[in-house]
């Protein structure tokens, strides 16, 4: 099999140091930064305050909005009303209102490609940060996606971490015999599970599948790996891998199933583990790759980003702040608050214990990004979400769902 080998790390230059003054930049600059009301917003607030404290005349106002669609809508509203902030927390690629690619392509974001920190930009993030030669965001952290598992619960159930899909299904049976579910799922939002399976079945052999789909060279319906992906998801449901009633379960229900040790694992982002630990700090959680034997890869993506508004009246200061934020000390400070992995630590091969099972794949370059960040419209992911559950409930067939995803892609164009 052929892996697409990416250079994951960001190499940053010494660049503009925190202690430097800004004699060549605008004086009395007051910048506004918008971010979600979460650990991400807290981290950006602290870093903006630190920068301002060291640069005379620079002030930041950090506006925080609830995470999710509410945050994205706040960003869009400010831009459309002509009151765009100077700095915007964005997401990589496509798929949400705050995604940087559509914002950049619409002319709302400044090009950051002149920064010294882009010299060794991570290849794995290129297609979801660059539009041609224009770069629309600074990657802030690496988010891992995989099989989050309760190590103590697996030991109690006598289940080893699965290495192949057949191992996974054997684990489902073993857990069921002891009155537990091996995995948990939310029927409303199963896309992380489906896309994680697709990483090994579609993107290991065709890492540029998204680009080929944009060019009309492939379709969901005609790609065997997508059919196999949904077959695996249906088998997971049919063989009782998920908690009872998962079809109607919300994301909080999923968290509760893991926190209450009703389920031993879940496929999702590493941040899901943090949410579960907040509900039950006594758990021992780790994350590993989807078990696909020789096709196993890590799924990781640089989702958190900071962008500069094209209309900023203090563009020089905003760009200087981004360059400062790209330095190792600030990268580590941001991720120390948010729980991600800083790009500089990825470069150096330093990973937290929670993602130890993924580290060898990152180091070897055996990685793919989250598929939907390369899909140009959210409607395609919506079709996947609806369709995965409809397959399980018998409301749709796999060909029906793949056709719906292709139709959504076509409609988006």
Residue 127, pLDDT score: 87
Please give the pLDDT value at position 122. Answer: 82
Whether residue 141 contacts residue 269, with contact meaning beta carbons closer than 8 Å, is answered with: no
DSSP string, 185-213: --TT--HHHHHHHHIIIIITT-TTHHHHH
Question: Against a cut of 0.85, is the pTM above it?
Answer: no
DSSP annotation string for 242-304: SPTTGGG--HHHHHHHHHTTSBSEEEEEHHHHHHHHHH-TT--EEEE----GGG--EEEE--E
Over 70: is that where the pLDDT of 21 sits?
no
How close are the terminal C-alpha atoms of the chain, in Å? Answer: 33
Average pLDDT over residues 274-289: 91
At residue 16, does pLDDT exceed 60?
no
Domains, the chain, in order of start with CATH, read 29-142+302-350 (3.40.190.10), 143-300+377-412 (3.40.190.10)
Ordered alpha helix ranges (H), 112-198: 151-157, 165-177, 191-198
What separation in angstroms does the CA of 26 have from each of 145, 317, 391?
Answer: 41, 7, 58
Q: Which of 18-22, 33-37, 77-81, 282-286 has the lowest mean pLDDT?
A: 18-22
Q: The tokens of 94 are what?
A: 């496509």
What's the token pair of residue 29? 């600059």
Can you tell me the mean pLDDT for 142-159? 96
H or E element at residue 392: helix 378-393
Over the stretch 234-267, which tens digit does the pLDDT of each residue have?
A: 999 999 999 999 999 988 898 999 999 999 999 9
pLDDT of residue 111: 98
The number of residues in the chain equals 413
- pLDDT confidence tier of residue 27, bands split at 50, 70 and 90: low
Per the prediction, the chain carries an average pLDDT of 90
Mean pLDDT, residues 183-194 taken together? 93
The string of pLDDT tens digits covering residues 347-372 is: 888 998 999 999 999 988 898 989 99
Residues 180-213 as b/e (b if ≥16 CB within 10 A, e otherwise) read bbbbbbbbbbbbbbbbbbbbbbbbbebbebbeeb
| pLDDT on residue 13 | 33
* Pair 85, 34: CB distance under 8 Å: yes
Give the model confidence (pLDDT) of 315-353 as tens digits. 999 999 999 999 999 999 998 888 789 999 988 889 989
Judged against a pLDDT cut of 90, whether residue 10 lies above it is answered with no
State the Cα–Cα distance between residues 348 and 342, nearest whole angstrom.
Answer: 10
Range name among 118-122, 173-177, 263-267 with the lowest pLDDT average: 118-122
Whether the pLDDT of residue 25 is over 70: the answer is: no
Give the pLDDT score at 51.
Answer: 97
Tokens (6 digits) for 301: 């993506």
Q: Above 80 in pLDDT, residue 26?
A: no
């Amino acid at each position: 099999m052929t892996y697409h080998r990416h250079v994951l790390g960001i190499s940053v230059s010494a660049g503009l140091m925190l202690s430097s003054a800004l004699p060549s930049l605008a004086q009395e600059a007051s910048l506004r930064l918008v971010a979600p009301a979460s650990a991400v917003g807290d981290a950006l607030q602290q870093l903006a305050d630190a920068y301002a404290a060291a640069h005379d005349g620079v002030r930041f106002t950090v506006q925080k909005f609830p995470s999710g669609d509410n945050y994205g809508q706040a960003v869009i509203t400010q831009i459309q009303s002509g009151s765009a902030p100077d700095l915007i927390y964005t997401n990589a690629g496509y798929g949400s209102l705050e995604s940087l690619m559509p914002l950049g392509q619409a002319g709302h974001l400044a090009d950051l490609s002149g920064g010294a920190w882009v010299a060794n930009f991570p290849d794995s993030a290129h297609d979801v940060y660059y539009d041609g030669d224009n770069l629309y965001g600074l990657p802030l952290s690496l988010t891992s996606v995989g099989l989050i598992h309760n190590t103590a619960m697996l030991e109690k159930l006598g289940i080893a971490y699965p290495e192949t899909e057949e191992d996974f299904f054997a684990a489902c049976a073993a857990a069921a015999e002891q009155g537990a579910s091996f995995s948990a799922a939310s029927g409303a939002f199963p896309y992380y599970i489906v896309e994680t399976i697709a990483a090994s079945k579609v993107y290991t052999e065709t890492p540029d599948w998204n680009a080929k789909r944009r060019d009309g060279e492939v379709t969901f319906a005609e790609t065997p790996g997508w059919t196999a992906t949904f077959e695996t998801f249906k088998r997971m449901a049919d063989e009782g891998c998920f908690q009872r009633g998962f079809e109607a379960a919300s994301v909080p229900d999923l968290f509760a199933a893991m926190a209450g040790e009703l389920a031993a694992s879940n496929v999702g982002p590493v941040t899901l583990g943090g949410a579960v630990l907040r509900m039950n700090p006594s758990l021992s959680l780790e994350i590993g790759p989807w078990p696909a034997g020789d096709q196993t890869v890590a799924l990781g993506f640089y989702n958190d980003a900071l962008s500069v508004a094209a209309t900023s009246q203090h563009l020089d200061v905003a760009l200087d702040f981004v360059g400062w934020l790209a330095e190792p000390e600030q990268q580590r400070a941001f991720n120390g608050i948010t729980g991600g992995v800083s790009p500089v630590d990825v470069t150096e091969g330093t990973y937290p214990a929670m993602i130890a099972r993924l580290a060898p794949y990152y180091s070897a370059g055996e990685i793919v990004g989250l598929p939907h960040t390369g899909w140009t419209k959210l409607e395609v992911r919506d079709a996947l979400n609806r369709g995965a559950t409809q397959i399980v409930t018998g409301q749709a067939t796999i060909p029906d769902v793949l056709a719906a995803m292709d139709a959504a892609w076509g409609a988006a164009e």
